[in-house]
Structure 1
Amino acid sequence: MSTELQPHPRRWVGLAVLSLSLLVVMMDMTILNVALPELTRDVRPTSVELLWIVDAYSLVVAGVLVTAAALGDRFGRRRLLITGYAIFGVVSLAIVLADGAGTIIALRALLGVGGAMIMPATLAMIRTLFTDARERGMALGVWAAVAGGGAGLGPVVGGALLEAFSWHAAFLVNVPLMAVAVVAAVALLPESRSARPGRIDAASVVLSLAGMAGLVYAIKELGKHGFEPGAAIVGAVGVVALTAFVRRSLRSPQPMLDVRLLAGRRFRAGVVTAVSAMFAMGALFLLGAQHLQLIEGLSPLAAGLWLLPAAGASVVASLLAPPLAERTSARATLSAGLATSALGFLLLFALPIDLLTLVVAMSVVGLGTGTLSIASALIMSDTPAEKAGSAAAIEETSYEFGMVLSIAILGTVAAALYRAGLPADATPAVRESLAAALGSSEAFGPAAAAFTDSLAWTGLAGAVVIGAAAVAVWRLAAPRPDARPRGLVVPDPR
């Protein structure tokens, strides 16, 4: 019997270790949102510095993901994980020494390096630890549930810490958790590497880093500020670099990232679902948190608690999706999940927006995005074990692009509609953000109404986009004539 079919005896314990590290990384992606106001009051960064404090992490993650996955394939994924854990813990501790915005930006960038090492390694190791297709589906369901739960817990944990401590606590909470993760990984995780690792060459590293980081940066900047020549040039450079990287990968017999995986229809269906799910969550949770705090008047902790039902719905759906897909099909489950998220967006447009409507709509969206576990199963089940690192890098990149596109597209739509709904005599500051109107009773009423209207119409835009994605996934995931018609985790026969 081939080793590919032999389950690892410590696979479930390994999953627990991988889930712990994933929980910390996902919490760190959202915990900063509630710490930003106090950090801003204490450090007083300029507007440009504040943007870099927020964006440095995601830009570095996007740029380093491909190289990190390739390093794990060649030198060992457990080794890469432990290095990522160590970087995450040490950098989080170093935040105590931060004396200005520049230091915080640098530390956030280093956290991105650690995150880029951790995220794809967790997925790749699940692919190699769980050789049984059904067990892998269950493991990926747990992985997706932890991801959704971690993102939802971030604002709650951050709000609770800020009730008692300074903004530094939002970073320091990572230190003991990562110390536990390092010890557990050394003691419990087996080493895993590719039997045929891709060739890591300087040109591919530079092209992937410049391409991914440049394109993500351009999308963010164009989404926030509209057309700017500088951002457009950076985006064009990113596109050229990525094109050159893809062409170089296609020419190489052992590329650093095997982009040929995208030729599979089921693989592409999983990628489209991953992008769409993150697109659904990104801007909606950002706008929803603003509505809860600025219009409903909730504290950061209370707002985080009201966001928990959406995260809980995502967790439940992640665990239920694999058995549902086994009873029906991956195609039906993925498309139904995206259609459910589209319905959640549509509720924002169809119903008067208040606290109950917002929480219900976000929970319905969260319920739909729980099918990310099925997307992961399609991506990983259609990938040979030796290509697990490439598949994980592509999937994680899909998450990054989905989130960035959500903020850029839906965030831009919401901002434009908000400004269009303001009175003609609104001040420039109020036109920039709803928060600027808080100090004026005369300005806040019209600004709050404009923000609520913009959220409703953004719901319609989100419903259209996610609905179109549901149709696309239905068509992409259609089984080939020789494929088995049912089930989530049985790969199409070759």
Structure 2
Amino acid sequence: MALISEATHRGARSKRWLGLSVLMLPVLLVTVDNTVLGFALPKIAEALRPSASQQLWMIDAYSLVLAGLLVSMGSLGDRIGHRKLLLAGSLGFAIVSVLTAYSDTATQLIAGRACMGVFGAMLMPSTLALIRSVFEDREERRLAVAIWATTLTVGSALGPLVGGVLLEFFSWGSIFLLAVPVLVPLLVLGPLLLPESERDASGPLDPISILQSMVALGAIVYGIKHSASNGIDWMALTTFAVGAVAGRMFVRRQLRLPVPLMDLSLFRSGTFSGSVAINLMSLAFLVGFVFFTTQFLQIVLQMSPLSASLALVPGQIMAIVVGMAVVPVAQRLQVHVLIPILMAFAGTAFLLVASMGSSLTVLVVSFALLNIGVGAIATVSNDVILSAAPPAKAGAASAISETAYEVGVVLGTTVLGGLVTAHYRGALQLPGFLTEVQMILASETLSGAHHVAADLSGDQARELMTQAGRAFEGGISLVSWVTFGLALMAILIAWRTLRTPKTQSAKGH
């Protein structure tokens, strides 16, 4: 009997970890999608000829919708079951990805990305909530969360590599078709390996709260984008005001509802709220870096997609290694000490770029340093977030964590990418031999200048690209100084908010 019991225990343990491996597939896909498109922008811009604003929306439509719906989907998963939501989201994501791969216009691509965000929002909170259901043992769950968080960071870091390999041999649509082979194993094995989570039927979803959260986030992001392209004018101020009002209404409504869409009581924990803020900022740093680096390597340094992606491999390796290696360190070092140390690596990465320029060597080293910080922060902060919430609120905590992640992605491209674009447009000195149409196209984006240069003679093309490269590199330097300052702010936030006698990450339930 003892042998049978031991065999049963081993079988159950194997099933748990196999189930975790299946759960990592959508995590990897959704996070790869956050950065792979930025790497494919030069080829997409060549095929679809988007404006500067459309280029940013191609990236952010996905993350914006995803962020706006994550809390709603996390709450829906608590009510109907996270496994059911995960499988439905996987099927929808795969179908929409195939349709988006064959977009003929920039508008179609943006719409497809937005639809992918809807189904992506069904995936992410469910994965973290199901980990809570699958792994009841505290130490096993800590390791499972570390693997989840590492996959989160690795997915963002792998985006350029995956994009580089696919774009070297296939058209840009291949980056979307990737969803099919990744999600099919989940649809087949998920029902067999993953248990359904406990359901909370305490109340219905609140559509007004959903609308308020999406209006707040959408208006603020649109205002940032508009400011980057056209400066701060009445349109930008109006959208900022709309976003602020909608956000205030959302918060007040959540405090009044008996069953809120977002449980704001979780933020009463300084450890929880501080970890969420650090999560958001660290992902913004990573995605912002990928946004400008991939364009600089391919267009300014004229590297092929594959060569440019291989240049970032050291950073991707560091994300994997450090994300797992930090687990035993986190057991011995308090969070308010550990996270500032890790954030210092991210700050150093941007300080190097700001002070030493955007050479290939500097970018490779900086990307590695950035991944050391962000990879480990994702592991530590998500473990703290999940541990700080009671079991009945696992879905809500997961959704808040994922919302912070996706808002960070949006802000990385919107704020940091928008600053690079704004500096580029203001600093670019166009040669006098360009036509009016060519000047407009070249001044919008670096990709636009590259397209114009393709139609010019050798000397004229070199002159234009020299000016465009200089303006874009100046934008990178500006953003790097700004981000270095933000990293210092993040260190202070972590030191103050996470400073507790015994961090919650060390507690069991």
Same fold (TM over 0.5): yes
How far 1:448 moved relative to its partner? 2.5
Matching residue of 2:456:
none
Counterpart-to-counterpart distance in 1, 2:348 and 2:39 = 28
How far 1:156 moved relative to its partner? 2.1
Matches within 5 A, 1:142-153: 142-153=147-158
1:93 equivalenced with 2:98 (yes/no)? yes
Counterpart-to-counterpart distance in 2, 1:92 and 1:416 = 31
Matching residue of 2:120:
115
Sort the Cα spacing of 1:161 and 1:423 in 2 relative to 1 into closer, same or farther, 3 A. closer
2:495 counterpart letter in structure 1: W
Per-residue CA distance 1:362-417 (angstroms, 9 max, x = gap): 11011111121111011110001111111112111111222233333333443444
Counterpart-to-counterpart distance in 2, 1:454 and 1:100 = 28
Matching residue of 1:395:
401
Residue 312 of structure 2 aligns to a residue in which SS?
A: helix
1:464 equivalenced with 2:485 (yes/no)? yes
Q: CA RMSD in A?
A: 2.7
Contact 2:74 2:399 in 1 (8 A): yes
Sort the Cα spacing of 1:285 and 1:197 in 2 relative to 1 into closer, same or farther, 3 A. farther
Counterpart-to-counterpart distance in 2, 1:197 and 1:430 = 56
Sort the Cα spacing of 1:349 and 1:77 in 2 relative to 1 into closer, same or farther, 3 A. same
Matches within 5 A, 1:78-477: 78-95=83-100, 98-195=103-200, 197=202, 199-370=204-375, 371-419=377-425, 421-423=427-429, 429-438=441-450, 439=453, 440-477=461-498
Higher mean displacement: 159-168 or 244-253:
159-168
How far 1:95 moved relative to its partner? 3.6
Residue 298 of structure 1 aligns to a residue in which SS?
A: coil
Contact 2:228 2:419 in 1 (8 A): no
How far 1:331 moved relative to its partner? 1.8
Matching residue of 2:502:
484
Residue 112 of structure 1 aligns to a residue in which SS?
A: helix
2:479 counterpart letter in structure 1: T
Contact 2:101 2:174 in 1 (8 A): no
Q: TM-score scaled to structure 2, two decimals? A: 0.87
How far 1:477 moved relative to its partner? 0.6
Q: Which runs of 5+ in 2 are unaligned?
A: 1-8, 433-438, 454-460
How far 1:250 moved relative to its partner? 1.2
Higher mean displacement: 374-383 or 403-412:
403-412
Per-residue CA distance 1:190-238 (angstroms, 9 max, x = gap): 0013446554123223222323333333333334443243344333223
Counterpart-to-counterpart distance in 2, 1:396 and 1:33 = 20
Sort the Cα spacing of 1:308 and 1:247 in 2 relative to 1 into closer, same or farther, 3 A. same
Matching residue of 1:31:
36
The share of aligned pairs that are identical, in percent, is 36
How far 1:295 moved relative to its partner? 2.3
Higher mean displacement: 468-477 or 25-34:
25-34
Sort the Cα spacing of 1:449 and 1:404 in 2 relative to 1 into closer, same or farther, 3 A. same
Q: Which runs of 5+ in 1 are unaligned?
A: 1-5
How far 1:467 moved relative to its partner? 1.2
Per-residue CA distance 1:302-355 (angstroms, 9 max, x = gap): 111112222222222211122111121222111111111111111112324311
Q: TM-score scaled to structure 1, two decimals? A: 0.90
Higher mean displacement: 131-140 or 83-92:
131-140
Counterpart-to-counterpart distance in 1, 2:416 and 2:131 = 33
Counterpart-to-counterpart distance in 2, 1:399 and 1:31 = 16
2:490 counterpart letter in structure 1: A
Sort the Cα spacing of 1:97 and 1:169 in 2 relative to 1 into closer, same or farther, 3 A. closer
Matching residue of 1:3:
none
Counterpart-to-counterpart distance in 2, 1:224 and 1:278 = 23
Alignment length (residue pairs): 483
